[in-house]
A and B are shown apart, each in its own frame.
Chain A
């Protein structure tokens, strides 16, 4: 872990993941871009909307026999609501995302898709698409806008970042997601739906009056 002082308030900003290039200072909410050991101040993050997620920064858990911890989050808005994308760092050095939408959780990891920005309109609802050797069906196509972020991220999680998001499912509980972003290009992820309890979570958020999961 590298700790670099915030160029705005001087507080330490930890970089726990070597893949992180962006962070939000937990004290002054400044947003910074990291280049080696230098931090470039790019702005300030507004207050994040409240939500009832049991997931929080530094929560750890297990997935596919590997331990992960949550190092960052972006909050995404679409036409009819919000969802969270939690950035995961696994103990084998790999990364992934825990998507949390309407109480449903899915973990997926980056895969090569061979898709280009030109394929943006090719993925229609219900259409079949093969990813990582598995057959998926498009279940959802949404325009999304980042409304805020926290922690550290592998890209600029700034407000207003816009993408087209395509969700896919298969017949066995698999989940895949493809993001089309003008700046970062096409990113594809493959994984599956999970239950919160099955992640054997530690350091998660506890809600009074709701017991434990």
Chain B
């Protein structure tokens, strides 16, 4: 059966080993059957007639006649091998199990003579790789603590064998029942299976369906397409949301730094300032006259493509003034409109005093090329109180603008907020098939 391995290379070459598997004919239908886990498998279910045979008996006596259940085709054929996690595994057993609600899932028993057994669990096209757990979890109602990580209860119920084929290290037959519990912390699952008094814990990890397909070189024939979200499927939004948050943090830091730097280095140079008196018209002629535009003295904008801030103030009192300013380039004659309204009202009504508006206003225009400019100003006035209004206008070149920063921060914040929303809805969907969803309302 086997030979000694010696560490010396010369000896290694001489090692001769015979195949391990054992072949025999099914005593019921005559089909040729294999046993791979010789000495460990105690039940073999004939792949062609599904008679249950005693693998511990040299004559492979019949334990149970073939059951006439529906035929189920395993996605991974019995006897096929694949490499998962750097180790080769042979699929030696297959079961379809289910619960009383009509859910059906598939379990594949995998074997390697050096590394023992593993399980592949498939439900709705989602795959989980299970290994027996050597650490006992610490159970507290609907949660377990397993290797310093907490897992939440996802399902609890009974499982029944509906279809079975291949070799197993326990006595298996259709109709076998056990109690199962799944606890999740994606991509991991910790499961308990209880038959009578014996409870076995297994530890599972979600595997991408494509990995199974590649590992066992499966064609698409019986390979199920994944449907919905598996209990332990890792959320694609979890990492993305985290990444987005990180990105947001760095972007915000960068923007704030740039803002501080620019504020410190901006010129904040007042290039024009003047005060005028605007009287209320007393006649139509005067009104037409007062509405006319006038030009200010020219001034120089020196810095290349900077912003300019127009500040206006007026001693309005239950009245308003409309300052229709136009920033005109002397050379080109082109004007940039910078209108503003200043209004202030106050009073006393319903036992409370109130006020509205302000004596000041300002606006900023970006990217003004350097050159000689002047302001062309038109004004209109109105209000409850008719009194002359003193107003002043100043123009400041290169000012720090906080609103730019705030708008930018809001804009870059939208993406992570969206990601977090996606992540949350993914979790809600994941838990929608569980009776223990933390998202469901009591």
Contacts and interface: CB of A to CB of B under 8 A. Distances in A.
Given A81-B170, A169-B134, A210 B112 contact: yes
Q: Is the interface of A mostly helix, strand, loop or mixed?
A: loop
B115 A195 contact: yes
Contact of B40 (A51, A171, A197, A206): A51
Given A102-B116, A139-B136, A173-B135, A205 B19 contact: no
B20 to A, nearest CB: 5
A195 B116 CA distance: 9
B5 A202 contact: yes
Interface in B2-31: 2-7, 15, 17-20, 22
Contacts, number: 117
A46 to B, nearest CB: 13
Interface stretch (A26-34, A52-60, A158-166): A52-60
B20 A171 contact: no
A103 interface: yes
A196 B197 contact: no
A51 B37 CA distance: 7
Interface of B: 1-7, 15, 17-20, 22, 36-40, 42, 56, 88, 111-117, 132, 134-138, 169-171, 197-199
A213 interface: yes
A93 interface: no
A35 interface: no
B5 A210 contact: no
B4 A102 contact: no
22 contacts: A49-B39, A50-B39, A51-B39, A52-B20, A52-B37, A56-B4, A80-B170, A81-B42, A81-B169, A103-B111, A103-B117, A126-B197, A126-B199, A139-B199, A171-B135, A171-B136, A196-B114, A204-B5, A205-B4, A206-B2, A207-B17, A209-B19
A134 to B, nearest CB: 12
B115 A104 contact: no
Given A175-B134, A203-B4, A203-B6, A208 B19 contact: yes
Contact of B197 (A125, A137, A204): A125
Contact of A102 (B17, B88, B117): B117
B7 A202 contact: yes
B5 A104 contact: no
Given A103-B169, A206-B5, A208-B18, 4 more contacts: A52-B113, A53-B113, A54-B113, A173-B135
A139 B22 CA distance: 32
Contacts of B4: 56, 58, 203, 205
* Smallest CB-CB A-B distances: 6 pairs: A103-B116, A51-B39, A205-B2, A213-B114, A193-B134, A208-B17
Contacts of B40: 51-52, 81-82, 102-103
Nearest to B58: A49
A56 B17 CA distance: 14
A140 interface: yes
B10 to A, nearest CB: 15
Contacts of B39: 49-53, 82
A47 to B, nearest CB: 11
